[in-house]
A = this chain, B = another copy of it.
C-alpha cells in the first residue's frame, strides 16, 4: 500500500493487457488498424483505471498543444472581460485551452508573457497591445517561429499583421455626426493615448468630422486624459469649464471619464443634454443605469473575441505564409438621453 499516487499511463494499460503501446494508442485515438475486440478491451480497462491521457506528452510528440495564449492589457472595465469571454467560448468549443496573461500596460511584462507562451508551445497567441509598446520585435519573433499571431482591438501599424478590430474611426465619426445633428458646435473631446490605434482613430474622426462640417478645430477643446477613470473625466471637465466659452458637447474616448464629467456637471448645476451633450465610448453597463443615460458606442467585445479565435483557427489550418487578414467590426452608436442636446433628459416618459 505505497503512495501509488502515480497516474496510470498508456503504457500501464498496454502492459496490463499484454499489448503494445502503439496498439493501445491507436485503440484510444483514430482507432484504425485495431480490431473492435481489443478496442473494447482497451476502453474498458481505461475506464476502470481512470486513465487520463497526458496532454503534455501528446503535445510534445505531436507538436501541437491545443493551447491558445491570450495577452490583454488588463482585466478591468467591461470590454476586455467581454473579449476574454468570447475567446474562451469559441476556443473551448474548438478543443483549445486558453492561457491568459495581463501586461498591465507594461511592455516588459508583455514581452515576458510572449516568451512564456512560446516556451509553453502554445499553438497561437492573441494579443491586445499595451499602451507602452513602441517596437514590435517580440511580435516579429512569434511570427518568425511560425506561431499564428492575432491581434485584437489594439494592433500595431504593421502591414502584415492579422487581427480583428472595431472601426473606431467610424464609431467616433458617427458620434460626431450625431452631435452635430443635434445642433452642437463647440464640441470638446477627451482624448486617449495617441499611441494606440483605437483612441488615435477616435481623435482623428473627431477632427475630420469637424472639418467636414466646417466647424473650426479648437485646441483648447481637446483634453488629453491621463487615464480612463472617472476622476480623470472630472478634472478634464473642470478644465473645460474654465474656458471663457463653455463647450456645448463633450465626446469622451472612454465611458468612465464621461461619467465623471456628468457628475461634475451635475454638481455645477449644468444640465446634461439640455445644456451640454455628453457621449462616451465602450458602452459600459453603467451607461444604462445613470441619469441621464449615457450615449455611447458599443465595441462588440464578445464578438471580437469570438472572431479573433476564428481567425486564429483559419491561420492554424493553412501552413501558408499567413496571409495578413484584418477583420473590421462595425461599432454601434447607441443613442441615449445624454446626447439629446437641448432636450430635457430627465424623467422622459415611457
Contact = CB atoms under 8 A, between A and B. Distances in A.
Contacts of A218: none
Contact of A85 (B60, B92, B102, B286): B102
Contacts of A191: none
A97 B85 contact: no
B97 A120 contact: yes
B101 A116 contact: no
Q: Chain copies in the assembly? A: 2
Contacts of A116: 55, 97
A54 B85 contact: no
A7 interface: yes
Most chain B beta carbons < 10 A, residue from A52, A120, A289, A350: A289
Contacts of A113: 92
B141 A50 contact: yes
Contacts of A75: 81-82, 84-85, 88
A57 interface: yes
Contact of A101 (B54, B65, B81, B97): B97
B121 A102 contact: no
Most chain B beta carbons < 10 A, residue from A52, A115, A290: A52
A323 interface: no
Contacts of A230: 288-289
A291 interface: yes
A97 B75 CA distance: 16
A54 B121 contact: yes
A259 B289 contact: yes
